Copies of this chain bind each other. A is one copy, B any other.
Protein backbone atom coordinates (compact mmCIF):
# COMPACT_ATOMS: atom_id res chain seq x y z
CA UNK A 1 0.00 0.00 0.00
CA UNK A 2 1.29 3.41 -0.84
CA UNK A 3 1.18 6.16 1.73
CA UNK A 4 -1.23 8.08 -0.46
CA UNK A 5 -4.10 7.80 2.06
CA UNK A 6 -1.93 8.45 5.08
CA UNK A 7 -2.08 11.62 7.05
CA UNK A 8 0.93 13.99 7.05
CA UNK A 9 3.58 13.66 9.72
CA UNK A 10 2.76 17.02 11.28
CA UNK A 11 -0.77 15.89 11.86
CA UNK A 12 0.52 12.65 13.29
CA UNK A 13 2.59 14.55 15.81
CA UNK A 14 -0.33 16.72 16.75
CA UNK A 15 -2.60 13.70 17.09
CA UNK A 16 -0.10 11.85 19.27
CA UNK A 17 0.31 14.90 21.45
CA UNK A 18 -3.42 15.37 21.84
CA UNK A 19 -3.89 11.67 22.52
CA UNK A 20 -1.37 11.85 25.32
CA UNK A 21 -2.77 15.07 26.75
CA UNK A 22 -6.29 13.71 26.95
CA UNK A 23 -5.15 10.42 28.43
CA UNK A 24 -3.15 12.30 31.04
CA UNK A 25 -6.03 14.55 31.97
CA UNK A 26 -8.23 11.54 32.69
CA UNK A 27 -5.61 10.26 35.09
CA UNK A 28 -5.30 13.65 36.76
CA UNK A 29 -9.07 13.79 37.24
CA UNK A 30 -9.02 10.36 38.91
CA UNK A 31 -6.04 11.08 41.11
CA UNK A 32 -7.91 12.57 44.11
CA UNK A 33 -10.04 9.43 44.32
CA UNK A 34 -9.19 6.40 46.46
CA UNK A 35 -9.62 2.82 45.22
CA UNK A 36 -12.89 2.67 47.18
CA UNK A 37 -14.12 5.94 45.58
CA UNK A 38 -13.34 4.66 42.09
CA UNK A 39 -15.32 1.47 42.60
CA UNK A 40 -18.78 2.79 43.62
CA UNK A 41 -21.85 3.03 41.38
CA UNK A 42 -24.52 5.08 43.12
CA UNK A 43 -27.29 4.48 40.56
CA UNK A 44 -27.67 2.65 37.26
CA UNK A 45 -26.93 5.81 35.26
CA UNK A 46 -23.65 6.35 37.06
CA UNK A 47 -20.49 4.39 36.30
CA UNK A 48 -17.52 3.92 38.65
CA UNK A 49 -14.49 6.05 37.94
CA UNK A 50 -12.37 3.00 37.33
CA UNK A 51 -14.91 1.79 34.79
CA UNK A 52 -14.64 5.10 32.90
CA UNK A 53 -10.86 4.80 32.94
CA UNK A 54 -11.06 1.27 31.60
CA UNK A 55 -13.86 1.82 29.09
CA UNK A 56 -12.14 4.74 27.37
CA UNK A 57 -9.09 2.49 27.10
CA UNK A 58 -11.23 -0.36 25.78
CA UNK A 59 -12.44 1.96 23.02
CA UNK A 60 -8.88 2.35 21.70
CA UNK A 61 -8.03 -1.29 22.32
CA UNK A 62 -11.12 -2.51 20.47
CA UNK A 63 -11.28 -0.18 17.53
CA UNK A 64 -7.60 0.65 16.96
CA UNK A 65 -5.09 -1.70 18.58
CA UNK A 66 -6.05 -4.66 16.33
CA UNK A 67 -4.55 -2.66 13.48
CA UNK A 68 -1.15 -3.42 15.02
CA UNK A 69 -0.19 -6.78 13.51
CA UNK A 70 1.00 -8.43 16.69
CA UNK A 71 -1.31 -6.85 19.23
CA UNK A 72 -2.31 -9.11 22.12
CA UNK A 73 -5.32 -8.00 24.16
CA UNK A 74 -4.40 -7.07 27.70
CA UNK A 75 -6.93 -9.44 29.28
CA UNK A 76 -9.37 -11.90 27.70
CA UNK A 77 -12.34 -10.64 29.74
CA UNK A 78 -11.89 -6.90 29.41
CA UNK A 79 -13.75 -6.86 26.10
CA UNK A 80 -16.75 -8.17 28.01
CA UNK A 81 -16.33 -6.04 31.12
CA UNK A 82 -15.72 -2.67 29.50
CA UNK A 83 -17.91 -2.65 26.40
CA UNK A 84 -20.55 -0.07 27.16
CA UNK A 85 -23.31 -0.63 24.60
CA UNK A 86 -21.80 -1.82 21.33
CA UNK A 87 -24.00 -4.73 20.28
CA UNK A 88 -21.89 -5.23 17.18
CA UNK A 89 -18.77 -5.85 19.23
CA UNK A 90 -20.33 -8.53 21.41
CA UNK A 91 -21.96 -9.21 24.77
CA UNK A 92 -21.12 -7.10 27.78
CA UNK A 93 -21.42 -6.79 31.51
CA UNK A 94 -24.78 -5.39 32.60
CA UNK A 95 -24.66 -1.67 33.18
CA UNK A 96 -26.37 -1.63 36.62
CA UNK A 97 -23.76 -4.11 37.86
CA UNK A 98 -20.68 -2.04 37.13
CA UNK A 99 -20.41 -1.24 40.84
CA UNK A 100 -20.22 -4.92 41.81
CA UNK A 101 -16.69 -5.43 40.52
CA UNK A 102 -13.82 -5.20 42.96
CA UNK A 103 -11.51 -6.72 40.37
CA UNK A 104 -9.79 -5.62 38.23
CA UNK A 105 -8.38 -3.31 40.86
CA UNK A 106 -7.74 0.36 40.36
CA UNK A 107 -4.07 -0.32 39.98
CA UNK A 108 -4.63 -3.04 37.37
CA UNK A 109 -6.59 -0.50 35.39
CA UNK A 110 -3.68 1.89 35.59
CA UNK A 111 -1.56 -0.89 34.12
CA UNK A 112 -4.17 -1.50 31.44
CA UNK A 113 -4.15 2.14 30.46
CA UNK A 114 -0.35 2.14 30.14
CA UNK A 115 -0.40 -1.04 28.08
CA UNK A 116 -2.85 0.39 25.59
CA UNK A 117 -1.14 3.79 25.54
CA UNK A 118 2.06 2.10 24.55
CA UNK A 119 0.31 0.21 21.77
CA UNK A 120 -1.39 3.36 20.59
CA UNK A 121 1.94 5.16 20.59
CA UNK A 122 3.36 2.44 18.37
CA UNK A 123 0.34 2.58 16.11
CA UNK A 124 0.52 6.33 15.63
CA UNK A 125 4.32 6.20 15.07
CA UNK A 126 3.84 3.82 12.16
CA UNK A 127 1.68 6.32 10.33
CA UNK A 128 -2.08 6.23 9.92
CA UNK A 129 -4.52 6.17 7.08
CA UNK A 130 -7.18 8.82 7.20
CA UNK A 131 -9.95 6.52 8.44
CA UNK A 132 -7.74 5.21 11.20
CA UNK A 133 -6.73 8.72 12.20
CA UNK A 134 -10.41 9.62 12.31
CA UNK A 135 -11.03 6.77 14.71
CA UNK A 136 -8.19 7.97 16.94
CA UNK A 137 -9.76 11.41 16.84
CA UNK A 138 -13.13 9.90 17.74
CA UNK A 139 -11.51 8.02 20.63
CA UNK A 140 -10.00 11.25 21.93
CA UNK A 141 -13.33 13.04 21.86
CA UNK A 142 -14.96 9.97 23.37
CA UNK A 143 -12.53 10.12 26.28
CA UNK A 144 -13.26 13.82 26.72
CA UNK A 145 -16.95 13.00 27.08
CA UNK A 146 -16.04 10.54 29.78
CA UNK A 147 -13.93 13.14 31.56
CA UNK A 148 -17.09 15.11 32.13
CA UNK A 149 -18.92 11.91 33.08
CA UNK A 150 -16.25 11.07 35.66
CA UNK A 151 -16.94 14.38 37.38
CA UNK A 152 -20.74 14.17 37.07
CA UNK A 153 -20.76 10.60 38.31
CA UNK A 154 -18.39 11.00 41.23
CA UNK A 155 -20.40 14.00 42.38
CA UNK A 156 -23.43 11.73 42.61
CA UNK A 157 -21.42 8.99 44.32
CA UNK A 158 -20.15 11.38 46.99
CA UNK A 159 -23.59 12.95 47.47
CA UNK A 160 -25.09 9.51 48.08
CA UNK A 161 -22.81 9.15 51.10
CA UNK A 162 -24.34 10.64 54.26
CA UNK A 163 -20.88 11.97 55.16
CA UNK A 164 -21.12 14.23 52.08
CA UNK A 165 -17.38 14.05 51.37
CA UNK A 166 -15.69 16.27 48.81
CA UNK A 167 -13.76 15.52 45.65
CA UNK A 168 -11.34 18.40 46.00
CA UNK A 169 -10.73 21.60 47.97
CA UNK A 170 -11.66 24.58 45.92
CA UNK A 171 -10.54 28.03 46.97
CA UNK A 172 -13.28 29.85 48.88
CA UNK A 173 -15.16 32.30 46.70
CA UNK A 174 -16.99 35.32 47.95
CA UNK A 175 -20.72 35.29 47.26
CA UNK A 176 -21.55 36.96 43.98
CA UNK A 177 -23.61 40.06 43.69
CA UNK A 178 -27.00 39.76 42.06
CA UNK A 179 -26.72 39.94 38.28
CA UNK A 180 -28.81 42.39 36.29
CA UNK A 181 -32.30 41.17 35.35
CA UNK A 182 -32.54 38.94 32.31
CA UNK A 183 -32.73 40.81 29.02
CA UNK A 184 -34.20 39.17 25.96
CA UNK A 185 -32.22 39.57 22.78
CA UNK A 186 -34.35 39.82 19.66
CA UNK A 187 -33.68 37.41 16.83
CA UNK A 188 -35.31 37.81 13.42
CA UNK A 189 -35.17 34.11 12.54
CA UNK A 190 -35.69 33.08 8.91
CA UNK A 191 -34.29 30.22 6.87
CA UNK A 192 -31.00 29.42 8.57
CA UNK A 193 -28.31 26.77 8.30
CA UNK A 194 -27.91 24.30 11.11
CA UNK A 195 -25.27 21.66 11.76
CA UNK A 196 -21.59 21.12 11.37
CA UNK A 197 -19.55 22.27 8.44
CA UNK A 198 -15.88 22.39 7.69
CA UNK A 199 -13.02 20.01 8.26
CA UNK A 200 -12.81 20.08 12.05
CA UNK A 201 -13.99 17.18 14.14
CA UNK A 202 -17.67 16.75 14.82
CA UNK A 203 -19.84 13.83 15.87
CA UNK A 204 -22.04 12.24 13.26
CA UNK A 205 -25.17 13.60 14.96
CA UNK A 206 -24.18 17.20 14.04
CA UNK A 207 -24.52 16.45 10.31
CA UNK A 208 -25.57 16.99 7.67
CA UNK A 209 -25.73 20.73 7.67
CA UNK A 210 -29.21 21.65 6.53
CA UNK A 211 -31.73 24.46 6.42
CA UNK A 212 -34.33 25.14 9.10
CA UNK A 213 -36.97 27.82 9.08
CA UNK A 214 -37.11 29.72 12.37
CA UNK A 215 -39.86 32.15 13.34
CA UNK A 216 -38.78 35.43 14.97
CA UNK A 217 -37.92 34.88 18.64
CA UNK A 218 -35.95 36.29 21.54
CA UNK A 219 -33.38 34.61 23.75
CA UNK A 220 -32.26 35.48 27.28
CA UNK A 221 -28.87 37.11 27.65
CA UNK A 222 -27.95 34.84 30.58
CA UNK A 223 -29.06 31.65 32.30
CA UNK A 224 -31.45 31.49 35.23
CA UNK A 225 -29.91 32.00 38.67
CA UNK A 226 -30.46 30.29 41.98
CA UNK A 227 -32.14 33.50 43.17
CA UNK A 228 -34.73 33.19 40.42
CA UNK A 229 -35.16 29.51 41.23
CA UNK A 230 -35.81 30.34 44.88
CA UNK A 231 -38.60 32.64 43.68
CA UNK A 232 -40.06 29.73 41.70
CA UNK A 233 -39.94 27.55 44.82
CA UNK A 234 -41.45 30.30 46.96
CA UNK A 235 -44.27 30.66 44.44
CA UNK A 236 -45.11 26.95 44.93
CA UNK A 237 -43.54 26.02 41.63
CA UNK A 238 -43.14 22.38 42.72
CA UNK A 239 -46.73 22.18 43.95
CA UNK A 240 -48.64 23.49 40.93
CA UNK A 241 -49.46 20.84 38.33
CA UNK A 242 -50.54 23.40 35.75
CA UNK A 243 -46.89 24.40 35.33
CA UNK A 244 -45.69 20.92 34.49
CA UNK A 245 -45.76 18.45 31.65
CA UNK A 246 -47.84 15.45 32.62
CA UNK A 247 -44.80 13.14 32.84
CA UNK A 248 -42.96 15.86 34.75
CA UNK A 249 -45.69 16.18 37.32
CA UNK A 250 -45.70 12.41 37.84
CA UNK A 251 -41.93 12.57 38.29
CA UNK A 252 -42.20 15.38 40.85
CA UNK A 253 -44.72 13.41 42.84
CA UNK A 254 -42.96 10.07 42.67
CA UNK A 255 -39.64 11.58 43.74
CA UNK A 256 -41.17 14.10 46.16
CA UNK A 257 -39.18 16.83 44.45
CA UNK A 258 -39.18 20.25 46.08
CA UNK A 259 -35.89 21.66 44.81
CA UNK A 260 -33.05 20.87 42.38
CA UNK A 261 -30.79 17.88 42.93
CA UNK A 262 -28.01 18.60 45.43
CA UNK A 263 -30.00 21.28 47.22
CA UNK A 264 -30.95 20.79 50.90
CA UNK A 265 -32.89 23.01 53.24
CA UNK A 266 -31.03 22.65 56.54
CA UNK A 267 -32.28 24.61 59.53
CA UNK A 268 -34.04 27.04 57.23
CA UNK A 269 -31.01 27.69 55.08
CA UNK A 270 -30.47 26.41 51.54
CA UNK A 271 -27.30 24.40 51.19
CA UNK A 272 -25.85 23.15 47.95
CA UNK A 273 -23.55 20.18 47.45
CA UNK A 274 -20.58 20.82 45.18
CA UNK A 275 -17.53 18.80 44.23
CA UNK A 276 -15.80 20.77 47.00
CA UNK A 277 -18.44 19.61 49.50
CA UNK A 278 -21.55 21.32 50.87
CA UNK A 279 -21.81 25.08 51.23
CA UNK A 280 -24.40 27.85 51.38
CA UNK A 281 -26.15 28.56 48.13
CA UNK A 282 -24.83 31.51 46.14
CA UNK A 283 -27.98 33.09 44.80
CA UNK A 284 -26.28 34.85 41.91
CA UNK A 285 -24.85 31.71 40.34
CA UNK A 286 -26.64 29.78 37.59
CA UNK A 287 -29.06 27.15 38.80
CA UNK A 288 -27.63 23.74 37.99
CA UNK A 289 -28.70 20.07 38.12
CA UNK A 290 -32.27 20.67 37.07
CA UNK A 291 -34.08 18.22 34.81
CA UNK A 292 -35.79 19.09 31.56
CA UNK A 293 -39.09 18.75 33.40
CA UNK A 294 -37.96 21.37 35.91
CA UNK A 295 -36.52 23.65 33.24
CA UNK A 296 -39.73 23.46 31.24
CA UNK A 297 -41.93 24.14 34.29
CA UNK A 298 -39.77 27.08 35.31
CA UNK A 299 -40.03 28.57 31.85
CA UNK A 300 -43.82 28.24 31.88
CA UNK A 301 -43.93 29.85 35.32
CA UNK A 302 -41.77 32.69 34.02
CA UNK A 303 -44.13 33.28 31.09
CA UNK A 304 -41.45 32.20 28.68
CA UNK A 305 -40.28 28.94 27.10
CA UNK A 306 -37.07 27.06 26.36
CA UNK A 307 -35.30 27.71 23.06
CA UNK A 308 -35.20 25.03 20.38
CA UNK A 309 -31.76 23.71 19.63
CA UNK A 310 -31.94 25.51 16.29
CA UNK A 311 -32.70 28.84 17.94
CA UNK A 312 -29.81 28.30 20.36
CA UNK A 313 -27.36 27.45 17.59
CA UNK A 314 -28.53 30.34 15.51
CA UNK A 315 -28.37 32.82 18.41
CA UNK A 316 -24.84 31.67 19.21
CA UNK A 317 -23.51 32.55 15.78
CA UNK A 318 -20.53 34.82 16.08
CA UNK A 319 -19.98 34.14 19.78
CA UNK A 320 -16.52 32.81 20.61
CA UNK A 321 -16.35 29.33 22.14
CA UNK A 322 -15.10 30.38 25.54
CA UNK A 323 -16.40 30.42 29.05
CA UNK A 324 -16.16 28.66 32.34
CA UNK A 325 -15.17 25.21 31.14
CA UNK A 326 -13.18 22.37 32.66
CA UNK A 327 -9.79 24.00 32.13
CA UNK A 328 -10.64 26.65 34.73
CA UNK A 329 -10.93 23.87 37.29
CA UNK A 330 -13.72 25.47 39.27
CA UNK A 331 -16.09 22.55 38.57
CA UNK A 332 -19.13 24.60 39.46
CA UNK A 333 -21.07 27.23 37.51
CA UNK A 334 -20.17 30.84 38.26
CA UNK A 335 -22.31 33.96 37.96
CA UNK A 336 -22.52 35.62 34.58
CA UNK A 337 -20.73 38.92 34.30
CA UNK A 338 -22.58 42.08 33.42
CA UNK A 339 -21.44 42.69 29.89
CA UNK A 340 -24.21 43.10 27.31
CA UNK A 341 -25.20 40.50 24.71
CA UNK A 342 -25.58 36.79 25.28
CA UNK A 343 -23.37 35.60 28.11
CA UNK A 344 -22.38 32.18 29.36
CA UNK A 345 -23.43 30.36 26.21
CA UNK A 346 -20.45 28.08 26.65
CA UNK A 347 -19.50 26.53 29.96
CA UNK A 348 -21.12 26.84 33.39
CA UNK A 349 -24.24 24.76 32.64
CA UNK A 350 -25.55 22.74 29.73
CA UNK A 351 -28.68 24.47 28.52
CA UNK A 352 -31.83 22.43 28.03
CA UNK A 353 -33.58 23.00 24.71
CA UNK A 354 -37.15 22.16 23.80
CA UNK A 355 -35.88 19.99 20.93
CA UNK A 356 -36.20 16.24 21.05
CA UNK A 357 -32.98 14.47 20.11
CA UNK A 358 -33.69 13.38 16.54
CA UNK A 359 -31.61 12.78 13.42
CA UNK A 360 -30.98 15.69 11.08
CA UNK A 361 -32.50 15.22 7.62
CA UNK A 362 -30.21 12.88 5.70
CA UNK A 363 -28.37 11.72 8.84
CA UNK A 364 -26.06 8.75 8.31
CA UNK A 365 -24.45 7.11 11.34
CA UNK A 366 -20.72 6.34 11.19
CA UNK A 367 -19.89 3.04 9.54
CA UNK A 368 -19.09 -0.12 11.49
CA UNK A 369 -19.49 -0.52 15.20
CA UNK A 370 -19.03 3.20 15.87
CA UNK A 371 -22.31 3.68 14.04
CA UNK A 372 -23.82 2.80 17.40
CA UNK A 373 -22.16 5.85 18.95
CA UNK A 374 -25.07 8.27 18.64
CA UNK A 375 -27.83 7.25 16.27
CA UNK A 376 -29.46 4.53 18.30
CA UNK A 377 -30.14 6.91 21.17
CA UNK A 378 -32.27 9.27 19.08
CA UNK A 379 -35.43 8.58 21.03
CA UNK A 380 -37.09 10.11 24.07
CA UNK A 381 -34.23 12.42 24.96
CA UNK A 382 -33.85 16.19 24.89
CA UNK A 383 -30.98 18.15 23.39
CA UNK A 384 -28.75 20.35 25.55
CA UNK A 385 -26.30 22.88 24.19
CA UNK A 386 -23.20 24.81 25.17
CA UNK A 387 -21.08 22.69 27.53
CA UNK A 388 -20.57 23.16 31.23
CA UNK A 389 -17.95 23.71 33.91
CA UNK A 390 -16.89 20.06 33.53
CA UNK A 391 -16.57 20.05 29.73
CA UNK A 392 -13.08 20.17 28.26
CA UNK A 393 -12.50 23.47 26.46
CA UNK A 394 -11.51 21.97 23.11
CA UNK A 395 -14.37 19.50 23.18
CA UNK A 396 -17.41 21.72 22.77
CA UNK A 397 -18.64 23.46 19.60
CA UNK A 398 -21.54 25.63 18.55
CA UNK A 399 -23.09 22.66 16.74
CA UNK A 400 -22.45 20.20 19.59
CA UNK A 401 -25.55 18.24 20.63
CA UNK A 402 -25.62 16.77 24.09
CA UNK A 403 -28.69 14.77 25.14
CA UNK A 404 -30.31 13.36 28.27
CA UNK A 405 -33.72 11.98 29.20
CA UNK A 406 -36.17 14.59 30.45
CA UNK A 407 -35.95 13.38 34.05
CA UNK A 408 -32.14 13.43 34.31
CA UNK A 409 -30.58 16.02 36.57
CA UNK A 410 -27.18 14.69 37.54
CA UNK A 411 -25.55 16.46 34.56
CA UNK A 412 -24.50 20.07 35.08
CA UNK A 413 -27.68 21.25 33.41
CA UNK A 414 -29.35 24.65 33.64
CA UNK A 415 -31.84 26.93 31.93
CA UNK A 416 -31.77 29.74 29.38
CA UNK A 417 -35.16 31.20 28.53
CA UNK A 418 -36.55 32.13 25.13
CA UNK A 419 -39.75 33.78 23.97
CA UNK A 420 -41.96 34.01 20.91
CA UNK A 421 -42.06 37.26 19.00
Report A's interface with B, CB cutoff 8 A: 34-40, 42, 77, 80-81, 85, 87-88, 93, 97, 99-106, 157-158, 160-163, 165, 191, 210-215, 217, 241-242, 244-249, 354-356, 358-359, 361-362, 371-372, 376-380, 406, 420
Q: What 10 A-B pairs are tightest by C-beta distance, nearest first?
A: A356-B356, A87-B241, A36-B102, A37-B102, A213-B213, A246-B376, A35-B35, A215-B361, A380-B380, A36-B39
A157-B100 in contact (CB<8A)? yes
Select which of B39, B105, B213, B359 is within 8 A of A102 by beta carbon: B39
| CA distance in complex: A144, B36 (Å) | 26
Given contacts A34-B35, A210-B215, contact A100 B161 (CB under 8 A): yes
A-B contact pairs, 28 of them (CB 8 A): A34-B35, A34-B102, A34-B105, A35-B35, A36-B38, A36-B39, A36-B105, A36-B106, A37-B103, A38-B102, A39-B39, A39-B40, A39-B102, A40-B99, A40-B100, A81-B162, A93-B162, A102-B157, A103-B161, A191-B191, A212-B213, A245-B376, A245-B378, A246-B379, A248-B379, A249-B376, A361-B420, A380-B380
CB of A64 to closest CB in B, whole Å: 21
Q: Which residue of B lies closest to A369 (CB)?
A: B242
The answer to whether A87 and B160 touch across the interface, beta carbons within 8 angstroms, is: no
With A and B bound together, what is the CA distance between A39 and B214 in angstroms?
Answer: 49
Q: How far is the CA of A377 from the CA of B77 in the complex (A)?
A: 42
Pick from B40, B163, B362: contact of A420, CB below 8 A. B362
| A102 engages B420 (CB within 8 Å) | no
B residues less than 8 Å from A361 (CB atoms): 214-215, 217, 420
Chain B proximity of A342: nearest CB distance (Å):
20
Instruction: List the B residue with the shortest CB-CB distance to A35.
Output: B35
Given contacts A36-B103, A40-B100, A100-B160, 13 further A-B contacts (CB under 8 A): A36-B106, A77-B162, A80-B162, A88-B242, A99-B100, A191-B191, A211-B213, A213-B213, A244-B376, A245-B376, A246-B376, A248-B379, A355-B358
How many copies of the polypeptide does the oligomer hold? 4
Quick check: A191 and B163 within 8 Å, CB to CB? no
Q: What residue in chain B is nearest A248 (Cβ atoms)?
A: B379
Q: Knowing A34-B35, A35-B36 touch, does A99 contact B99 (C-beta < 8 A)?
A: yes
Complex: A376 Cα to B210 Cα, angstroms: 30
CB distance from A189 to the nearest CB of B (A): 9
How long is the Cα–Cα vector from A321 to B305 in the complex, in angstroms?
A: 35
Q: Could you say which residues of chain B place their CB within 8 Å of the CB of A246?
A: 85, 376-377, 379
**Closest B residue to A75 using CB positions:** B163
**Given A77-B163, A85-B246, A100-B42 contact (CB < 8 Å):** yes
Closest residue of chain B to A296 (Cβ to Cβ) is B379
Task: Report Cα–Cα, A124/B158, bound state, in Å.
Answer: 38
For the complex, give the distance between the alpha carbons of A289 and B380 in Å. Answer: 20
| A153 → chain B closest CB, angstroms | 12
Set of chain B residues within 8 Å of A163, measured between Cβ atoms = 77, 81, 101, 103-104
- Residues on B with beta carbons closer than 8 Å to the beta carbon of A100: 40, 42, 99, 157, 160-161
Closest B residue to A42 using CB positions: B100
Task: Give Cα distance in the complex from A372 to B300, angstroms.
Answer: 14
Q: Specify which chain B residues have a CB less than 8 angstroms from the CB of A214 in the assembled complex.
A: 361
Instruction: A179 to B385: give the CA distance in the assembly, Å.
Output: 47
Q: In the docked arrangement, what's the CA distance between A40 and B103, Å?
A: 10
Cα(A38)–Cα(B103), bound, Å: 11
The distance in angstroms between the C-alpha atoms of A249 and B86, with both chains bound, is 12
- Inter-chain contacts of A420 with B (CB < 8 A): 361-362
